[in-house]
Chains A and B, each alone.
Chain A
């Protein structure tokens, strides 16, 4: 049959064709997946539709790619897998998207509806398994329900607080026919959370608190980018002269170079940021959820501060931190309401006080010390940023990190000026995320420079996706921060387990040879002077590159707040070498 046109009139299609026609209607251009028995009808129909399919090497990669695609572009990421093991392999990726509120739609094949529940070959109750890690999920057993369900899934994934949605489609539903009309399958208007309202009394209270505050701080979270409220936040902060601290996922939502930007808060945030929060008399939490990595010990968190929480998900209010005013709603709308009601403020005393408290922290920073012959992860990350900045590509570079020490160094040393320039697994902390998520990011944004920054441990979890890069001809550059350890585990063992390095030393293959085996160029780098030329070569080549950066083995991420400690009880950077203390800022 000829390819059906979506959106115009009614046609009779198989369920499998309806899947693609509906995805096409929703504007999907790329899908990440892996075929198998129960989803073969859908794969058979793929050739009739103008949608690019990226074959992954493991279904976990498919879910991470859809996730990276969504985070980099703001569009819904779509992944596919067959029933049984295909579906269960998606689980870690779905949970990753759930914890970070990323809109993805996962489509899984399922055994025929007649044998559902009979332990048929490759049958697994994936809607049951994913119930707590999806925003919603569906089991579809009839072809006529497919279009409506997929359209509803897209609406659920993107509305309110975004999140992953899974659709499990039985094989018989894919094979039987039904009439299809894209427009007729539209869901009714999204049902907002009924508790969603920023009441005028709360707005008045918020305004009173903001006006009387002497030491206010904005806590910038992921919700700013989710809401598209970056401009509103900048305007608000500037008009009220309120300094801005970011969560890990909030990095990039407020420009790093902005004079009001303080940087990242929390467990590995700079000391002056955390001290400022502890000293503040007003916290304005914008689209963040007071995660334990951000607050430290809750009993001692910002005790002098009134708290205003602007949040779209009412179940987050008073979950971890009791707030004085809750403005439940979309951040952009709330700020549009607040802004005109607040007179401009010009007092910069509080910001100057915070800046004055930086003290010697910056001088002790490894990044400001002269080359002592050792390569530190901070150097690598800082130099990748400097190189992008020098080339004028700082707004067009997406860094995708894995999880661990390098992730925190990235957050500290790569200065993110624009939203969606950092893709990282914050909530779930999923090792193995970087490489597949970067494939998703590069697929969504082929014009951007995409860098994977991963540790030697996490990279090996999903290294099979190297061949996906080659098959899909994606120019992704990979920086492996290799210290021979599961670095963050080692650092915790050093600090809390008397240096008992239990199972944290890790042997790695020769990553450069591994890259070569895939047809990817690479190099070992162990000297700081070699970093920038290598980075330039990779960025300008138009080809994928892999660098194995052999860095200092037992380096630690500082500052650090021990679990259970209060935000101001941080461990500062060690003084490495007194002779180097006088070094100038480079």
Chain B
């Protein structure tokens, strides 16, 4: 099954290798991996989607945490999360396309239905930009292909994920609703907790209504 992990890691040379090497070592294929800046300075946010056994999630998460460069790991499979992917797509559209002179306007209509945008228009091609869930992107690809058009290029970023509603203490302190944490940010789990309290890691869902609806 597919597992999605969000990892905050130090923004340093070689960190990507350490993460990638961990999956290689476990003989797990990475389906997609996106890396970019996060809300914290010197910290990158990775969304890693991998195809692994149902029971592998715990071990992957625990192993990611073992990397000295890992700050935080979250597995978003079991929680409601917004998962998005960006796709650029170049389609052969011109006088020779299946619908000839009307081909461009048909692509425009399809793009509209899928809320994709036209970002480049050339005499013989159109480039679309689309953001959405993977299935939505695959839906657009399928419709365009079945309409007889030739897709020249597809570039997908891979998934990015963010939990709905459940906010970490870090985010809330950034929003000013909790006392400002020290420079190191979250400190949950910083000592043996025999009282089994999840502490401030997960807080009640107070922000449910602010999300855009999933398509």
Interface of A toward B, CB cutoff 8 Å: 127-128, 131-132, 135-136, 139, 156, 188-189, 191-203, 313-315, 317-319, 329-330, 333, 337
Contact: B72 with A200, CB < 8 Å? no
- The interface bits of chain B over 165-205 (1 if a CB of A lies within 8 angstroms of the residue's CB, else 0) are 00000000000000000001000111111111000000000
B59 neighbours in A (Cβ, 8 Å)? 315, 318-319
Find chain B residues with CB under 8 A from A132 CB.
Answer: 21, 25
The answer on a CB contact under 8 Å between B194 and A314 is no
Give chain B interface residues in 39-75, CB to chain A under 8 Å: 55, 58-59, 61-63, 65-68, 72-73
> How near does chain A come to B192, taking the closest CB pair, in angstroms?
5
Minimum CB–CB distance from A566 to chain B (whole Å) comes to 22
Which of A188, A189, A200 contacts B194 (CB under 8 A)?
Answer: A200
Known interface pairs A132-B21, A196-B189, A197-B189. Does A317 touch B194 (Cβ–Cβ under 8 Å)?
no
User: Inside 8 A of B188's CB, which chain A residues have their CB?
Assistant: 194
Determine whether B100 belongs to the interface, using a CB cutoff of 8 Å to chain A: no
Question: Considering the chains assembled together, what is the distance between the CA atoms of A195 and B73 in angstroms?
Answer: 10
Residues of A within 8 A of B65 (CB): 193-195, 314-315
B14: CB under 8 A from chain A?
yes
- Residues of B close to A337: CB separation below 8 A: 194
CA separation between A188 and B59, bound complex, in Å? Answer: 27
Question: Does B196 contact A199, Cβ atoms closer than 8 Å?
Answer: yes
Q: Is the CB of B66 within 8 A of A315?
A: yes
Contact B195 A330 (CB under 8 A): no
The answer to whether B189 touches A131, judged by C-beta atoms less than 8 angstroms apart, is: no
Residues from chain A with a CB closer than 8 A to the CB of B21 are 131-132
Cβ–Cβ < 8 Å partners of B67 in chain A: 136
Please tell me which one of the listed residues A188, A193, A200 contacts residue B196 in the complex, with CB atoms under 8 A apart: A200
Task: Evaluate contact between B66 and A196: CB separation under 8 angstroms.
Answer: no
In angstroms, how far is the closest chain B Cβ from the Cβ of A317? 7
Asked whether, in the complex, the Cβ of A333 is within 8 Å of the Cβ of B192, the reply is: yes
Task: Provide the bound-state CA to CA distance between A201 and B73, in Å.
Answer: 23
Task: From known contacts A131-B21, A192-B190, infer whether A200 and B195 are also in contact, taking CB-CB under 8 Å.
Answer: yes
Q: Is the C-beta of B163 less than 8 angstroms from some C-beta in chain A? A: no
A330 in contact with B68 given A131-B18, A318-B58, A319-B59 (CB within 8 Å): no
Which residues 55-108 of B have a CB within 8 angstroms of A? 55, 58-59, 61-63, 65-68, 72-73
Known A127-B14, A314-B62; judge A197-B184 contact (CB<8 A).
Answer: no
Contact A197 B55 (CB under 8 A): no
B189 touches A198 (CB 8 A): no
List A contacts of B194 (CB < 8 A): 197-200, 203, 337
A315–B63 CB distance below 8 A: yes
Q: Closest approach, in angstroms, between the C-beta of A226 and any C-beta of chain B?
A: 16
Q: Considering the chains assembled together, what is the distance between the CA atoms of A193 and B193 in angstroms?
A: 12
- Which residues of A lie under 8 Å from residue B72 when comparing CB positions? 194
Q: How near does chain A come to B79, taking the closest CB pair, in angstroms?
A: 17
Q: Verify if B17 is at the interface (C-beta below 8 Å from A).
A: yes
Give Cα A196 to B72, complex, Å: 13
Identify the interface centre among B13, B25, B55, B65: most chain A CB within 10 Å of its CB: B65
- In angstroms, how far is the closest chain B Cβ from the Cβ of A452? 33
A196→B192 CA distance, assembly (Å): 7
8 A-B contact pairs sorted by A residue (CB < 8 Å):
A128-B17, A139-B14, A192-B190, A197-B192, A197-B196, A200-B195, A314-B65, A315-B62
Q: How far does the alpha carbon of A127 sit from the alpha carbon of B193 in the complex, in Å?
A: 35
Assuming the A-B contacts A131-B18, A315-B59, are A192 and B196 also in contact, with contact meaning beta carbons closer than 8 angstroms in the complex?
Answer: no
Q: How far is the CA of A545 from the CA of B59 in the complex (A)?
A: 48
Given contacts A127-B14, A315-B66, contact A201 B184 (CB under 8 A): no
Inter-chain contact A202/B196, CB cutoff 8 Å: yes
Contact of B193 among A131, A188, A191, A197 (CB under 8 A): A197
Chain B residue numbers with a CB within 8 Å of A128 are 17
Q: Establish whether residues A136 and B68, one from each chain, have CB atoms under 8 Å apart when the complex forms.
A: yes
CB neighbours (8 Å) of A139 from chain B are 13-14
A333 to chain B, nearest CB (A): 6
Asked whether, in the complex, the Cβ of A131 is within 8 Å of the Cβ of B184, the reply is no
> Which among B62, B66, B193 is the interface contact of A317 at CB below 8 angstroms?
B62
Contacting residue for A199 out of B73, B190, B193, CB 8 A: B193
Bound: A188/B184 CA distance, A: 10
Give every chain A residue within 8 A of B190 (Cβ-Cβ).
Answer: 189, 191-192
Interface residues of B in 1-45 (CB under 8 A from A): 13-14, 17-18, 21, 25
Least CB distance from B16 to A in Å reads 12
Query: In the complex the two chains form, what is the Cα distance from A346 to B194 in whole Å?
Result: 28
CA distance A195 to B65 in the complex (A): 8
Q: Which residue of A lies closest to B24 (CB)?
A: A132
Contact of A195 among B184, B189, B191, B196 (CB under 8 A): B189
**In the complex, what distance in Å separates the CA atom of A330 from the CA atom of B191?**
11
Closest chain B CB from A524 CB (angstroms): 47
Alpha-carbon distance A319/B53, docked complex (angstroms): 12
Q: How far is the CA of A317 from the CA of B61 in the complex (A)?
A: 12
> Which residues of chain B are near A188, meaning CB under 8 Å?
184
- Chain B residues positioned under 8 Å from A201 (CB to CB): 196
| Residues of A with C-beta under 8 A to B192 | 196-198, 329-330, 333
